[in-house]
Amino acid sequence: MTNAIQQTRKNAKDNLDMNNSKPSKLLSTTEIVALSLKKRHKKEKRFKNLGLLAVLFGFMLVLVLISDITIKALPAFGQHWVQLDIDYKSDWLNIEETSPETLLAEQLKTANFRKVLRNSIYQMFSSTADKKLSRSEKRELTKLFSTNAEFTIKDALIESPVLLNKQANIWVRLDDDVDSYLKEGFSDGEAGLRLSEQQAGWLAKLNAEKRLENRFNLSFFTASDSREPELAGIKGALVGTLLTMLVTLLLSFPLGVAGALYLEEFAPNNRWTDLIEININNLAAVPSIVFGLLGLAVIINLFELPRSAPLVGGIVLTLMTLPTIIIASRAAIKAVPPSLREAALGLGASKMQVTFSHVLPQAMPGIITGAIIGIAQALGETAPLLMIGMVAFIVDVPTSIVDSATVLPVQIFLWADSPERAFLAKTSAAILVLLALLLVINISATVLRSKFESK
């Protein structure tokens, strides 16, 4: 029966003569169709639901992706601090308190703060004088605190030198393992993650004395990369991204607009123009990593520009985004009504004057939207930058376009590879920052477009 229906349908579609169909001898065509309707409608419903399912599946993927990363990122915005009783004993510091003030300030800079920190901690945890900490206990104890703690107490003393030979309550960062442990919500004194029972016990004690505090982790935004997760931040990567994007924008925007203007307004219809067009279309689909190979072979090895520099990264990303910008700009230029050109030409303007004072301003919003989309694409790009050496571990914030630098996506890649548990949250947080940047850029493009369209 279905066969017959299909035959009928096919005939309808192909506009063939109805004589070809061979309906069953017992039933008329109308009856066959009527009988099959229920089944066909069921099929229709199934197909429609399948489509809806696919759309919902797409939504689900977006939600799962975003929420998974957000949940993973949340811990990175907090950092546990601990209040320590620091004893600034001058013989631990290895300085003479009788020295004149200027000399004292000098001495404080080189004093032995590690000893102060350790001895103060040991003092805090060996409450009764007779019970000395064993060597391994001492080691476990010092592991609780960030390596940065001795600098925190150093800064505190330099800020107020009167604390010398006194006891002070100083807040310092906890180590990343401890931080992760606290964020996981273990019950008091329970060993977990990389913490022993002994360490957990100490933490429970600190917690009972209300010496622990979860603060907003500002240093995530103000610090550069570090091997210690509790100290690592994205500032260096952000500045590197900014510099790279600046180079990309400054190069790709004028070049892209100029190229598009030529192709739309001036190019004669010949083989040369065809060649350029084919090239642009093909370059738009070349994998980004190939541009990295080009950058490595030509820009770094041939022109000997510095490795890892935002300048090289910007040039490579320019070559990559140029086709996008040219294609978008051409569409915008094409949308400028020809009457405008003809009116200006009729009034005696030269072709160049028409282009630059009439066509270009009209097409500008569209061109800028295209450029923003190109920049957004460049902002998330990682692979070509790996090729040109922007993967190095860089602690310093870059100050110029020829300094060694890294960018946010590469920083994400590097952190994702790190074994420390705390870097998982840091990576997710860096991804959130990257996505937020992209969102801002895309929204500005949308706003611009709608403003342009309403005109």
Partner 1 sequence: MNSSLLFIVLLCLTLFSYWFGIKRSLKVAGGAEYKKSLISLPEQFGLLTAMVCGLPALITLLIFNSTEQLVIEQLLTNTLPIKIQQLSSIDLGLYLNNIRSIASTETSQTLLQNISSQTLEQTSNASLITQYQGALTLQTLNQQASWLKTALVLIIAVVSVIILVRKFSPTFKARQKAEAIIWGLLVSSSAIAILTTVGIIVSVLFESIHFFKSVSPAEFMFGTQWSPQTAMRVDQVGGSGSFGAVPLFAGTMLITFIAMLLAVPVGLMIAIYLSQYADARLRRFAKPMLEVLAGIPTVVYGFFAALTVAPVIRNLGESFGLSVASESALAAGLVMGTMIIPFVSSLSEDAISAVPNSLKEASLGMGSTRSETVINVLLPAALPGIVGAILLAISRAIGETMIVVMAAGMAANLTANPLDSVTTVTVQIVTLLTGDQEFDSPKTLAAFALGLMLFITTLGLNILALKVVRKYREQYD
List binders of partner 1 among 348-407 (CB under 8 A).
Answer: 350-352, 376, 379-383, 386-387, 389, 391, 400
Determine how β-strand 78-87 pairs with β-strand 167-173. antiparallel
Is 27 one of the binding residues for partner 1 (CB under 8 A)? no
Name which position in 172, 247, 412, 425 contacts partner 1 (CB under 8 A): 412
Residue ranges in 102-121 that form contacts with partner 1 under rule CB under 8 A: none
Is 158 one of the binding residues for partner 1 (CB under 8 A)? no
Element (H, E) at 151: helix 149-159
Is 290 one of the binding residues for partner 1 (CB under 8 A)? yes
Which amino acid is it at 344? A
Residue ranges in 295-314 that form contacts with partner 1 under rule CB under 8 A: 296-298, 301, 303-304
Task: Give the chain's radius of gyration (CA, Å).
Answer: 34
**From residue 79 to residue 98, what is the string marking binding to partner 1 with x (rule CB under 8 A)?**
--------------------
Q: Is there a contact between 94 and 150 (Cβ–Cβ < 8 Å)? A: no
CB-side neighbour CA atoms (13 Å) of 161: 17
Of the pair 95, 412, the CB lying nearest partner 1 is at 412
Tokens of 292: 């990295």
Is 254 one of the binding residues for partner 1 (CB under 8 A)? yes
Total site size for partner 1, rule CB under 8 A: 93
Strand ranges across the sheet with 78-87: 167-173, 78-87, 212-216
Name which position in 4, 104, 163, 276 contacts partner 1 (CB under 8 A): 276
Residue ranges in 178-217 that form contacts with partner 1 under rule CB under 8 A: none
Of the candidate spans 56-64, 211-219, 331-339, 360-368, the one that interacts with partner 1 by CB under 8 A turns out to be: 56-64
Residue 192: CB minimum distance to partner 1, A: 19
Of the pair 47, 221, the CB lying nearest partner 1 is at 47
Of the pair 218, 352, the CB lying nearest partner 1 is at 352
> Shortest CA distance to 178 belongs to which of 226, 217, 144?
144
Question: What's the Cα-to-Cα distance from 428 to each of 274, 379, 424, rounded to whole Å?
Answer: 45, 17, 6
Q: Quote the CA–CA distance of 374 and 129 in Å, as a whole number.
A: 68
Q: Quote the CA–CA distance of 108 and 102 in Å, as a whole number.
A: 10
Of the pair 160, 446, the CB lying nearest partner 1 is at 446
Q: Quote the CA–CA distance of 73 and 264 in Å, as a whole number.
A: 47
Q: Quote the CA–CA distance of 6 and 262 in Å, as a whole number.
A: 54
Q: Is there a contact between 156 and 185 (Cβ–Cβ < 8 Å)? A: no
Q: Transcribe 174-240 into DSSP letters.
A: BPHHHHHHHHHTPPTT--BTTB-HHHHHHHHHHHHTT-EEEEE-THHHH----SSTTT--SHHHHHH
Residue for token digits 């009167």?
162
Is 225 one of the binding residues for partner 1 (CB under 8 A)? no
Is 258 one of the binding residues for partner 1 (CB under 8 A)? yes
Of the pair 231, 261, the CB lying nearest partner 1 is at 261
Determine how β-strand 78-87 pairs with β-strand 212-216. antiparallel
Of the pair 23, 256, the CB lying nearest partner 1 is at 256
Number of neighbouring beta carbons within 10 Å of residue 367: 23
Is 262 one of the binding residues for partner 1 (CB under 8 A)? yes
Name which position in 34, 53, 158, 250 contacts partner 1 (CB under 8 A): 53
Q: Quote the CA–CA distance of 249 and 255 in Å, as a whole number.
A: 10
Is 448 one of the binding residues for partner 1 (CB under 8 A)? no
Is 280 one of the binding residues for partner 1 (CB under 8 A)? yes
Residue ranges in 61-80 that form contacts with partner 1 under rule CB under 8 A: 61-62, 65-66, 68-69, 72
Residue 163: CB minimum distance to partner 1, A: 39
DSSP 145: B
Residue ranges in 7-26 that form contacts with partner 1 under rule CB under 8 A: 9-10, 12-13
Of the pair 345, 391, the CB lying nearest partner 1 is at 391
Is 442 one of the binding residues for partner 1 (CB under 8 A)? yes
Is 347 one of the binding residues for partner 1 (CB under 8 A)? no
Of the pair 157, 430, the CB lying nearest partner 1 is at 430
Q: Is the dihedral of CA 127, 130, 134, 138 positive or negative?
A: positive
Of the candidate spans 109-117, 201-209, 288-296, 331-339, the one that interacts with partner 1 by CB under 8 A turns out to be: 288-296
